[in-house]
């Protein structure tokens, strides 16, 4: 059995500087280019511990009527609810690619904005993910997603999975490697998923980023394999 620490809400919350930095950068780059109707229902997919949802996304919204964070981890949702639930801000369980998920049955009103930070690289069925995200959007709605196309971390996972000491613990390694890790032009592939799901693409960029961890402990907390 191989699992990242994405279900350990408190630990994640103390070690998410990389994710926070990149969500903040994307919000400051795109927020002003987005339209902000007075009534604005907002969804954050893969909200995790809720820190980014409540401390970055919420203050960045130029208008909102409701903000809903959803996550496939019950532990994350429970943590986010206990720490950040407030009037018009809610958290709930959702697997965005669950076979029985019918987006508009669960959210009949739909959303004016859908955000997702550092979540979609966990999802192998990208077509289904984007088709569900697209269905959740109201006409004229906007989607902003940030996730890893490829990363040295995924190479480490793949190497460990081939190592005789570790391979037996990592049989499900493919679930933890971005579906774009070995794709030559991730932007083109992502664009085609977006277009196929009926969305218009205003901008789609694959950016080379570096990140320095302040200590080996900080690195381990972010990437620990249990």
Ligand X SMILES: C[S@@+](CC[C@H](N)C(=O)[O-])C[C@H]1O[C@@H](n2cnc3c(N)ncnc32)[C@H](O)[C@@H]1O
- Select from 16, 54, 126, 221 the one that contacts ligand X (CB under 6 A): 16
Q: What would the DSSP string read from start to end of 187-198?
A: HHHHHHHHHHTT
Piece in contact with ligand X (CB under 6 A), picked from 33-41, 89-97, 166-174, 200-208: 89-97
Instruction: Give the integer Cα–Cα distance in Å for 222 and 118.
Output: 13
Identify residues 19-58 at the interface with ligand X (CB under 6 A): 19, 23, 45-48, 51-52
State the nearest-atom distance from the C-beta of 116 to ligand X, in Å.
7
Among 156, 102, 97, 103, which Cα is nearest to 127's? 97
Q: Which window, 117-125, 154-162, 170-178, 192-200, contacts ligand X (CB under 6 A)?
A: 117-125
How many helices and strands, by DSSP H and E, does the chain display? 10, 5
- The reply to whether 186 sits near ligand X by the rule CB under 6 A is no
Measured in Å, how far apart are the chain's first and last C-alpha atoms?
A: 9
Q: Do the Cβ atoms of 158 and 177 come closer than 8 Å?
A: yes
Indicate the angle between helix axes 17-30 and 216-223, nearest 10 degrees. 80
* Residues in 96-115 at the binding interface with ligand X, rule: CB under 6 A: 96-97
Choice between 40 and 76, CB closer to ligand X: 76
- Interface residues with ligand X (CB under 6 A) are 6, 16, 19, 23, 45-48, 51-52, 71-73, 76, 94-97, 117-119, 122-123
């Amino acid at each position: 059995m191989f699992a990242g620490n994405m279900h350990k809400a408190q630990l994640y919350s103390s070690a998410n500087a990389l994710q926070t930095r990149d969500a903040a950068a994307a919000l400051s780059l795109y927020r002003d280019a987005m339209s902000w109707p007075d009534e604005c229902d907002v969804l954050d997919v893969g909200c995790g511990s809720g820190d980014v949802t409540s401390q970055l996304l919420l203050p960045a919204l130029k208008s909102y009527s409701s903000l809903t964070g959803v996550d496939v981890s019950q532990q994350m949702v429970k943590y986010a609810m206990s720490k950040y639930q407030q009037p018009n801000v809610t958290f709930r369980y959702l697997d965005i690619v669950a076979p029985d998920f019918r987006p508009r049955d669960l959210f009949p009103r739909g959303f004016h904005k859908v955000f997702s930070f550092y979540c979609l690289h966990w999802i192998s069925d990208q077509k289904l993910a984007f088709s569900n995200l697209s269905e959740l959007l109201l006409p004229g709605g906007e989607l902003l997603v940030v996730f890893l196309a490829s990363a040295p971390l995924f190479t480490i996972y793949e190497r460990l999975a081939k190592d005789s000491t570790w391979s037996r613990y990592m049989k499900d390694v493919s679930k933890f490697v971005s579906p774009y890790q070995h794709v030559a032009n991730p932007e083109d592939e992502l664009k085609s998923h977006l277009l196929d799901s009926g969305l218009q693409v205003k901008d789609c960029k694959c950016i080379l980023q570096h990140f320095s961890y302040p200590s080996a402990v900080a690195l381990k907390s972010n990437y620990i394999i249990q």
